[in-house]
Amino acid sequence: MINKTLIFNSYEGDFSGRKPFLFLKIEFQWINFHNLENQMGDSVNIKKLKNPEGRSFLDELEQAEENLSKQDAKLFFRTVLSHFDSNISTRNGNAILKTILSLLQKSKIAQVFVDNDFASSLPLSSKNFASSAFAILLHLAKAYPAALTNDSLIDNLSDAIPRTPDKALVVIATFAQNTIAKKRSKNWNSDSDDDQISDSDSDGYNPRKSKKRSSRHRNNTDLDNDFEAEPLFDLLVKHAEIYANNDDLVPPFLSLLALLNDSSSEFRQKRGRKCAKIISLIMESAETPLLKKCYGSLKTYRRLAPSLTLIKRHLKSRALQSSVLSYLVLSPPLTVDSTFLEMLLTIANSDARGSYVLFQIAQKEENAEMLVEDAENLGWLKMSLPTAEDTLKLLLVVFQHKNLRDSVAHTPHFLRLLLAASKKTKDAGVLTVVCTMLRRVTFDRKISAEMKEIGFLATFFSRALDITENMAVHSGLLLADTLARVGFFSDFLEIAPKVCEIAQDGGPLSNVAAQLAVDLAVYPKCIRVLRKEGMESFFKRKLKDQKLKRTAQKFFELLEDGPD
């Protein structure tokens, strides 16, 4: 390097009185530029890298992988990437890209690459270099997603999609998954609304007539305050026709659209309808093998869905029905009609997945109401969906809606379904469910008369005793107690001896049975049975029992008013 003192002295005489320091400043600038290459001698030799066909070019690239410093990185990247602006051999071009990918594993050097938007200079549209260039882009999507939001890069990627749609899709999907994972807890809110988007909500959008991005402004989004992801995601909509016409890419393309709609309320609000239209256009014309894959690609997402019209059409197809059901189990439609419910009820007779879908749909009161309104015509309460217990489960879901309970209770086959389920079960939990449902019904003459006619209580109580578990017996006692407050049932006379036995055995249900005995004592026919079973002596002993004292007193009050 030239000594600055010698420079000054060498010109001092010739430029006397002409501001030699000005020339010195100019000379320094020339020296700094001229010697910048030489100053990089310990890191990388730019001279050798300027000629990609030189003998030492590949050796120097190899040296750069090991020796390139952060200070030299900017000039290095600028130099080697400039070669793609002119003709360069496939071998050397791919060697450059391989070296860059290797260097990006070093965080400090990678930051230089990202900060200077060198990704925009990657030869994404080149037939010879696209694979290597997209490998770099994929790494950036994983490690430095902000690098993919540069406008120039997005334009380059857009130009490359027609040639390499598969590679572009992988990069955008990786970017989306990586960014969503990082931002989900803060900004990506998938629960801001419960709306499902289908083509019935679309605005007539046609992907073949999509418009180019109109704004270049970087605005804050629900992704990140530091970079904007929307323009990158817009490429999916812009190039929808390319993906829609490639059967191999349709499933991952739809999955990515569904992921974005699930994960970002902003994306869903701005592009949800367009995405729904895209799905509709694809699935309306797709053949059966592709349709199966479409349903498979969408089934783990909630927001973006095929239209109900399409779903009903595909449910009718034997070849598609299984795929559609698997989809519906995980992504049931939120809005349905009676035709769809009828189809599911028919399917549920032989396929449990139909029932699983119905369970979820009926959680929405408007849908459950349709099941109640159509129950007489459809007769689903007497169906096995595909078992009586499954039908009971659906009934229980409907019963969660308080406004529908009395309507359900007056539905044909309601009590007979509960009785059939009770008879067949060996599960105490089923009896608990039946008991709970009946205890929430408003009993009137019609319901009471039907229960008496079919001997519901006696059958239910007998089944509870057969199961023997305390939970089952407890359900029997509770149901009897509920009916005792409604009116007299001849079944009381049949179960009363066992009630007395349970009360007198001192077990965990003794107090419950004792209370039931008192409730039965309001009926003269029952008092005779209770006396015969020794309850008068039992309650005399309990007059000194703090827990049962009041119950015993009530029993004797009833005896005074009853028959001798």
* Per-residue pLDDT reduced to its tens digit, 293-349: 999 999 889 888 999 999 999 999 999 999 999 999 999 998 899 899 999 999 999
On whether residue 263 sits in a domain, the answer given is: yes
Mean pLDDT lowest among 70-84, 219-233, 293-307, 400-414: 219-233
Residue 374 predicted with pLDDT over 90 = no
Whether 452 contacts 474, CB under 8 Å: no
Percent of the chain with pLDDT over 90: 58
By three-state DSSP, how is residue 304 classified? Answer: strand
Which among 406, 441, 472 is the end of a domain? 406
Dihedral sign, CA of 69, 73, 75, 76?
positive
Residue 141 predicted with pLDDT over 90 = yes
pLDDT value of residue 12: 38
Residue 46 predicted with pLDDT over 50 = yes
Percent of the chain with pLDDT over 70: 83
pLDDT value of residue 208: 38
> What is the rounded distance in angstroms from the CA atom of residue 471 to the CA atom of residue 11?
108
173 and 51, same structural domain?
Answer: yes
Residue 450 predicted with pLDDT over 50 = yes
175 and 76, same structural domain?
Answer: yes
Model pTM above 0.95: no
pLDDT value of residue 33: 42
Amino acid at 212: K
Report the candidate in 455, 422, 433, 348 with the shortest Cα–Cα distance to residue 391: 348
Which among 299, 331, 363 is the end of a domain? 331
Residues in the chain: 564
Our measurement of the distance from residue 325's CA atom to the centroid of its chain's CA atoms, rounded to an integer in Å, reads: 17
Residue 118 predicted with pLDDT over 90 = yes
On whether residue 455 sits in a domain, the answer given is: no
On whether residue 464 sits in a domain, the answer given is: no
366 and 308, same structural domain?
Answer: no
On whether residue 401 sits in a domain, the answer given is: yes
339 and 318, same structural domain?
Answer: no
Identify any residues that bridge with 197 across adjacent strands, giving them in sequence order.
Answer: 304
On whether residue 552 sits in a domain, the answer given is: no
278 and 180, same structural domain?
Answer: no
61 and 126, same structural domain?
Answer: yes
Which among 359, 391, 406 is the end of a domain? 406
Residue 373 predicted with pLDDT over 60 = yes
Mean pLDDT lowest among 175-189, 375-389, 392-406: 175-189
Mean pLDDT lowest among 84-98, 112-126, 203-217, 274-288: 203-217
On whether residue 304 sits in a domain, the answer given is: yes
What is the mean predicted confidence (pLDDT) over 446-470?
92
By three-state DSSP, how is residue 1 classified? Answer: coil
> What is the rounded distance in angstroms from the CA atom of residue 59 to the CA atom of residue 49?
10
265 and 145, same structural domain?
Answer: no
> What is the rounded distance in angstroms from the CA atom of residue 481 to the CA atom of residue 139?
70
173 and 83, same structural domain?
Answer: yes
170 and 62, same structural domain?
Answer: yes
On whether residue 537 sits in a domain, the answer given is: no
276 and 384, same structural domain?
Answer: no
What is the mean predicted confidence (pLDDT) over 176-201?
62
pLDDT value of residue 264: 82
What is the mean predicted confidence (pLDDT) over 73-87?
93
Q: What Rg do the C-alpha atoms of the chain give, in angstroms? A: 39
265 and 321, same structural domain?
Answer: yes
pLDDT value of residue 330: 93
Whether 95 contacts 61, CB under 8 Å: yes
Mean pLDDT lowest among 306-315, 420-429, 553-562: 553-562
The count of domains in the chain is 3
pLDDT value of residue 195: 63
pLDDT value of residue 184: 57
Domain carrying residue 172: 46-184
Sorting pLDDT into bands at 50, 70 and 90, what band is 133?
A: very high
In the predicted model, what is the mean pLDDT of the chain?
83
> What is the rounded distance in angstroms from the CA atom of residue 350 to the CA atom of residue 321?
12
337 and 356, same structural domain?
Answer: yes
On whether residue 456 sits in a domain, the answer given is: no
Q: Please write the tens of the pLDDT for every residue from 246-285.
A: 999 999 999 999 999 988 888 888 899 999 999 999 999 9
